[in-house]
Structure formats: C-alpha cells, structure tokens
Chains A and B, each alone.
Chain A
Amino acid sequence: MESLQTLWMSTGLANFEFGQVVMMLVGCLLLFLAIAKNFEPLLLVPMGFGAILTNIPIAGFSEIGGLLHYIYYAGIDTGIFPLLIFMGVGAMTDFGALIANPKTLLLGAAAQFGIFATLFGAIALNAIPGFEFTLADASAIAIIGGADGPTAIFLASKLAPELLGAIAVAAYSYMALVPIIQPPIMRALTNEQERKIEMAQLRPVTKIEKVIFPLAVLMMTIFFLPAATPLVGMFCLGNLMRECGVVDRLSSTAQNELINIVTIFLGLGVGSKLSADKFLNVETLGILALGAVAFSIGTASGVLMAKLMNKFSQEPVNPLIGAAGVSAVPMAARVANKVGLEANPHNFLLMHAMGPNVAGVLGSAVAAGILLALVGG
C-alpha cells in the first residue's frame, strides 16, 4: 500500500500545481501560434516546448542538474547565444541598400524613439499599484521597441533576467505581428499622394565599400560606445565574413548551421524562463502592453521622419520606408513594399526599405549599448 502511495506521489498528476498547468497551456499556445499561424516558428517552437518542459513537476528541468538550467546559464546568462545569433544576422545582412542611400540611416535612428518613449511609459506604469519597474527593468522592456529578438534577449539577460521570459515572448510575438501592427499606422500618417511617391533607383555599390563598412561601424563603436561592442562587434564580424569573399565557408556556416543550432538552444533557454512564478503576474501584462506601444511609436516616428526628409531632400522619399526603420528584418521592409504597392502597383519599395531596415538593426544595437552604458553600469 505504501509503495502504491509512493508511486502515486511520483506521478505528474499528483504534483501538478495550478500555475504549472497554466504555463504549459501558454507553451501550447506558443506552439499553436508557431505551427498553425506561422508566427516566428523557428524560435517559438523551441520556446513553447521549453515552456512545457520547464513546468513539468518533479522532472526539474530548470533546477540545478536539469538540462534547461545548464542551457540557460551557459548560453543566455552569459549572453553567448544572442551574440552568436547576431553574428549570423550580420552574415545575412546586405548593407548595399544602406550604403547606396546613407540618409536612410536617419530613419533607422528615428524609429529608435519607440524604445526611449517606452522607457518613459514603463516608469509611468509604476504609478499603478502592482507595478514596480526599476530603471533597469524599464530599459529591458523598452528594447522590445527595437524589434530585434537577439538584442532584446541580450539586454534583458544583462539588465532584468527575471523579466527575460516575458520580454522575449513579447519581442518575438510583436515581430511576427509586424504585418498587422504597422499598416494601419502607416496609412494613418500618410496620404495617398505620399504613398505613391516613386524613388530614384539606387546606385550600384562596390565591393570595397561593403568590406570597409562593417570595419568602419566597428571602429566608431569602439571610439564612442564600447558598451555596444559585443553586439555590434559580432554583427560586423558576420557581415565582414559575408562581404570579404575569402571565407564563404565561414559565412555560410554562420548564417545557416550555426544560427540554426543556436536558435534551438536559445529558444529552449528562453522557454525555461517561462515558469509560473515569473510569468503569471501583472507585470507580464504590462510588458506585453508596453511592447505593443513601443512598436507603434517606433513605426510612427520612422514614418514621420521620412515625411520630414521628403520635404527637405531633393530626391523624393516615400514616407512608407520610414516604417521599416524598426528593424524586424526583412518583415518590416516587405510590409513597406506591400503598402506601397497598394497605392501604386508599379512602385517597388523593397530595396529602398531595406536601407532603413538594416539601419534599424544598427540603431537598436546602438540604443542597447546606450542603455547598457547608462543603466547597467
């Protein structure tokens, strides 16, 4: 009889806590969004599964000795996984459109206003009882507005590890929702005439420019913002490997095998942070709301900046490409292209929008560096 009792006590059914069941359902929801709705499936599948694993009673996946515990501490706590992903993203990024039309960097800069405005919003939420965000928490939440998964995870792991699960979920879900969040804002801030603007064709960019560019970005980061060099450095390494043309094998590994392997572990590690005690609270709701606000403000400020540029620049600038300033490569650029095509079926903005798009990646890495330097120190 006693052994039966012991057997029963070692089953999952006897040990389930309410929170664990809810978090497993959250994990299943993430899996559903990934598989049925195709929301960032590469990350949400391992993340949702990690959320299920970490909430299994008794198995202790996220306790010392458990697999997810080690994955988290080896890769995310140290910042290694997001940085390796960033190297892969660098190896996939073509700066050609940006070098051909450098003023689009300003659009990438303007869209970062979403980050800093959300920082303000997160602090404002403290006025509501139940919220106690420190400046570090607020910074980690605000970076969701950078629309850059690895940057958000990197910064959150440094500034607010206890909020990492919620921040990663918010960042990746909103990145998947870019085609739904952005177009209404873009349409509201522009008129038909502006959306029809056709832009001049981009000049061809030579190889030497593409090789020097990542080195120049790295040099500037070293001079002005060493706190951002982990992110920018790995990004530039990946990009240099891509453009220099002598290490195609490394470049292809960085943008295929390596980034895939790391994505599996990153997803699992982030999933391990989706435990009931850390996720099921009012702060998570606040983070999800703030993330949406951050995205919207970023999109709006990018579009407004592009309108401003269109007024003052000799060459016409279609304001829609400003929305692509919120990184989320290449989704945001595709959205700009699509909204542009609706107004003018012969106007292909994709290449023009890639400029602010990759500028947004640089911009959010710089913003992350600023937050690290000013808040993390």
Chain B
Amino acid sequence: MDNLSQLFVEAGTLMLAGMVFVFAFLGILILFINIVLVKLADKYPDPIIQPKSQRNVAKSGNSATEGISPAIVAAISSAVNQYRQKNSKKK
C-alpha cells in the first residue's frame, strides 16, 4: 500500500509536470507564430500569381469555346442528327 501511494505521488507529479510542459511548449509556439511568422508573412507575401493564372485559365477557357465557330458546331450537330436518323431507320 505504501508502494501504491508512492506511485500515486509520482503519477501526480508526472501529470503536473506534463501538462505544464505541454502548455509551455505550445504556448511558446503561439508566440513564435504571432511574432515571427506573421512578420515574415508581411515581408514576403506570396507572389500574386494565382489570380493571373486564373485569368489565363479563364481566357484560355473562353478562347477554347470561342475557337469553335458556330458554323462548325452546326455542322457537327447536323452530322450527329443524320447519323442517329440512319441508325434508327436501320433498326
């Protein structure tokens, strides 16, 4: 029983030391993020590529759809229609 109470004391100290340390460690990390990283982020912002690339994508997307002239679209759809009609007649 004496042994057990000694183990309890040890477990209690471990609990206290552990929680204090975990909080201290992660607390310092918070300070580090708030002080160092935020300043670094202000100093070296990400190069603004994303909006540009998005615009490019948008443009290329537009040109892709614009590139196909209405005449070609009409030709393709009429061809598809003819093909479907032929197939349905066969059946």
A: which residues have CB within 8 A of B?
Answer: 99, 102-103, 105-106, 108-110, 112-113, 115-117, 119-120, 122-124, 126-127, 135, 138-139, 204-209, 212-213, 216-217, 220, 224-225, 359, 362-363, 366-367, 370-371, 374-375
Contact B33 A99 (CB under 8 A): yes
Contact A220 B28 (CB under 8 A): yes
Query: Pick the contact of A208 from B12, B25, B44 — CB < 8 Å?
Result: B44
Given that A138-B11, A212-B40 are contacting pairs, would A116 and B23 also be in contact in the complex, using a CB cutoff of 8 Å?
A: no
B: which residues have CB within 8 A of A?
Answer: 4, 7-8, 10-12, 14-15, 17-19, 21-23, 25-30, 32-34, 36-38, 40-41, 44-46
Q: Which residues of A contact B36 (CB under 8 A)?
A: 212, 216
Query: Pick the contact of B29 from A105, A112, A370 — CB < 8 Å?
Result: A105
Would you call the interface of chain B mostly helix, strand, loop, or mixed? helix
Q: Which residues of B contact A102 (CB under 8 A)?
A: 29-30, 33-34
Contact A109 B4 (CB under 8 A): no
Contact A363 B26 (CB under 8 A): yes
Q: Which residues of B contact A370 (CB under 8 A)?
A: 14, 17-18, 21-22
Q: Which residues of B contact A109 (CB under 8 A)?
A: 19, 22-23, 25-27
Contact A112 B44 (CB under 8 A): no
How long is the Cα–Cα vector from A112 to B8 in the complex, in angstroms?
19
Contact A105 B30 (CB under 8 A): yes
Interface centre among B21, B26, B38 (most CB of A within 10 A): B26
Given that A109-B23, A127-B4 are contacting pairs, would A135 and B33 also be in contact in the complex, using a CB cutoff of 8 Å?
A: no
Q: Number of A-B pairs whose CB atoms are under 8 Å?
A: 113
Q: Which residues of A contact B44 (CB under 8 A)?
A: 206, 208
Given that A109-B23, A363-B22, A366-B25 are contacting pairs, would A99 and B37 also be in contact in the complex, using a CB cutoff of 8 Å?
A: yes
Q: Which residues of B contact A108 (CB under 8 A)?
A: 26
Extra contacts besides A225-B21, A366-B26 (10): CB < 8 Å: A109-B27, A116-B15, A122-B11, A135-B10, A209-B33, A209-B38, A212-B36, A216-B36, A359-B26, A370-B14
Query: Pick the contact of A206 from B18, B30, B46 — CB < 8 Å?
Result: B46
Contact B12 A367 (CB under 8 A): no
How long is the Cα–Cα vector from A374 to B34 in the complex, in angstroms?
30
Nearest-neighbour CB distance to chain A for B40, whole angstroms, equals: 5
How long is the Cα–Cα vector from A135 to B12 in the complex, in angstroms?
11
Q: Which residues of B contact A216 (CB under 8 A)?
A: 29, 32, 36-37
Contact B17 A205 (CB under 8 A): no
Q: Which residues of B contact A367 (CB under 8 A)?
A: 18, 22
How long is the Cα–Cα vector from A105 to B23 in the complex, in angstroms?
9
> Which residue of chain B lies nearest to A120 when distances are taken between CB atoms in the complex?
B11
How long is the Cα–Cα vector from A205 to B23 in the complex, in angstroms?
24
Given that A205-B41, A370-B18 are contacting pairs, would A224 and B10 also be in contact in the complex, using a CB cutoff of 8 Å?
A: no
Q: Which residues of B contact A119 (CB under 8 A)?
A: 11, 14-15, 18
- Ordered by A's residue number, 15 sampled pairs between the chains whose C-beta atoms are within 8 Å are A99-B33, A106-B23, A109-B22, A109-B27, A110-B23, A116-B15, A117-B15, A120-B8, A123-B11, A206-B45, A209-B33, A209-B41, A212-B37, A212-B40, A370-B18
